[in-house]
Structure 1
Amino acid sequence: MINNEFRGAICAIFSGFLYGFIAYFGLNALSSHFNEGAMLFWRFSLSCIFILIFFFPWLRQKRESPKELWRLLIAGIFCYGTSSLLYFLACRYISSGIAMVSFFTYPLFIMLYNILFKRQAVVPLYFGAMLVMMLGMCCFIDLRTAQANVVGIFLAMASAICYAAYILTSKRSTVSPHMSTLMVCAGCTIPALVHCLVDNSLAWPASSIAWFYLFGIAIISTVLPILFLLYSLQLISAEKASLLSVLEPVFVVILGMVLLHEKLSLKSLAGIILVLAGALITLLESNPQSGQTVYKEKLDMSQQY
């Protein structure tokens, strides 16, 4: 029998898989005469339109707390949206490999938050899994083009902290995944729009292929992975969900081979093996009751409204 723990793990892994397409759609969108801010604006605004059109019946199923909706909107502005902008800005100063390794430290910030502020015990196995995954992601760094910069590393780490804050906010939210995704995406459009207005970079997609890549990043690499991540957070802990979503770089490498015809080096293969090993270590910790615990926490919180 498939329990909630297994369902949650599958949702988190599939979320990472869908996020893996972001390199393909994002790079092609940027090559269509968009800068980072314009691409992010279209990414999140098209995400909102898609949700309103195709998920409208789910949005009406439950009456949500206005306080919770505002909290998610703010999380979209200051957590998810700011995280996305900071990551792309970091890539201006440091190589994408170093930015990636810095960003994917966000599970560590989630664990530290729960230890220091929530006084929760974190599974020791997760720290081992995190270390193995970090070693694996270091293998994805191209040493020939790698460049480090204090400002770039600071921006990437700030991006990780913002994303960790988004995960923690979503974990506590009682809002349905569909409405939560809509509010977060709506919030994300604001910092992207501000960025576009500041540097006067907002542009209309000039070709059908540009629209294709923008819709691809909006639907396949934004709406769907956020939904699956939110479903996973209903079933497993934030630490476990975040660690399993770190599989994203593995899928980026694999999809790069398939879609962009990139070659797989021995170093990248070693990185894939290490990241997969870290995910396997994470999966070794299994608590069939966690789904019931998460449900009880959500129920207790919903009674406050």
Structure 2
Amino acid sequence: MANTSTRGILLTMLSAVTFGFAFTLGPMTYGEAGSNPVTLTFLRNFLSLPVLLAILWYQGISLQVSAKELWSLTILGGIGNAVTTLMLFIAFSLIDVGVATTIHFIYPVFVTIGCVLFYKERLGLQKFIALLIATAGIACFFLGVDMSAGFSGGTFLGLFLAVASGVTYAFYIIYMDKSGLKNQPVFKISFYVALMSSIAMGIFGIGTGELTLTTLTPQAWFISTVFALLCTVVALSLLQIGIKHVGASTAAILTTFEPITSIICGVLLLGETVTTIKIVACALIMTGVVTLSLAKQKKPPEEAVTVPEG
């Protein structure tokens, strides 16, 4: 039992580290490499489709869905995934990847708020304190911009989009739970979400002229492919195995290694800086998220398993 638990912990941590590292690769395709947030969002989903299809075929999982499920998957992919990913990737072009990822990781707070406001779930003292701590962390980022960068438009927009991506991803989680899609196999949901996201971003990219597939350098194609496979196949698979061994609540706590990894990789690979205000803000957000996860451990084991955005 101990060995199984240890394996689950290690695999979940490895999944979080993989997600965090992969996010650092995205901005490397921008600018002279020929890509942009719209193109990267499209490729992140489109390039994963053949692999997801192969996994479903190997596992003998049917692609058949009802008309109602298809509509729910369209909403999940178009709004919950495509919009979330696009806003986060735009944020990557405006602020540090580590900062954007950490702020995005505030989504459990918005999940809690959404469930309290729209589904009348009870907000206990522990959750309330967690919300205050995490909110203070976000406020630190905005205050840091106000004091050190003159509240510049680009930086403010990046922070806003990172927060907004947390809101739309919270919608993704709540909608998947309440729509009944949580009972479907994980990779089946991932396939349809990636498919609907690809269609949505393809239409949007062509309409806006932001889908720049013909200008991508070989390096950008390689990085985009590695990025898509790391997020959709490697990290997701490791996370699902980890959840089976340690449970969803423990896995939720361990996934806090994702933004920590993004911060470290951002410094090492992208030359991003670490300041006192960033450290304080990240610490507050992670404390709030972990506190929320510990509060959720009191819920029954049949609670829906949610997968961190990657």
> Which residue does 2:26 correspond to in 1?
26
2:168 to 142, 154, 162: 162
C-alpha spacing 1:287/1:281, structure 2 compared with 1 (3 Å): closer
1:175 to 175, 178, 184: 184
> Which residue does 1:187 correspond to in 2?
196
Q: Secondary structure at the match of 2:225?
A: helix
State the identity as a percent.
Answer: 24
Aligned counterparts of 1:132 and 1:160: Cα–Cα separation in 2: 16
* CA deviation string 1:45-85 (max 9, x = no partner): 00112212345312x24676424344223310122112222
Contact 1:91 1:152 in 2 (8 A): yes
Q: Secondary structure at the match of 1:21?
A: helix
In the alignment, structure 1 residue 208 sits paired with structure 2 residue 212: no
Provide TM-score, normalisation by structure 1: 0.73
C-alpha spacing 1:161/1:274, structure 2 compared with 1 (3 Å): closer
C-alpha spacing 1:227/1:117, structure 2 compared with 1 (3 Å): farther
C-alpha spacing 1:283/1:110, structure 2 compared with 1 (3 Å): closer
Contact 2:133 2:284 in 1 (8 A): yes
C-alpha spacing 1:72/1:220, structure 2 compared with 1 (3 Å): same
Q: Secondary structure at the match of 1:274?
A: helix
What letter matches 1:194 in structure 2?
A: I
Unaligned runs of 5+ in 2: 306-310
Tell me how many residue pairs correspond in the alignment.
Answer: 291
Unaligned runs of 5+ in 1: 298-305
* CA deviation string 1:75-134 (max 9, x = no partner): 101221122223445678x75688667644432331122223323224532332343334
Task: Give the CA RMSD over aligned residues.
Answer: 4.1
> Which residue does 1:72 correspond to in 2?
73
**Bigger Cα displacement from structure 2, 112-121 vs 198-207:** 198-207
Aligned counterparts of 1:131 and 1:242: Cα–Cα separation in 2: 19
Q: Secondary structure at the match of 1:290?
A: coil
Contact 2:107 2:166 in 1 (8 A): yes
**Bigger Cα displacement from structure 2, 83-92 vs 201-210:** 83-92
Provide TM-score, normalisation by structure 2: 0.72
Displacement of 1:249 in angstroms is: 2.8
**Bigger Cα displacement from structure 2, 97-106 vs 179-188:** 97-106
Displacement of 1:195 in angstroms is: 2.2
> Which residue does 1:127 correspond to in 2?
128
In the alignment, structure 1 residue 36 sits paired with structure 2 residue 46: no
C-alpha spacing 1:192/1:226, structure 2 compared with 1 (3 Å): farther
Displacement of 1:211 in angstroms is: 2.1
**Bigger Cα displacement from structure 2, 120-129 vs 72-81:** 120-129
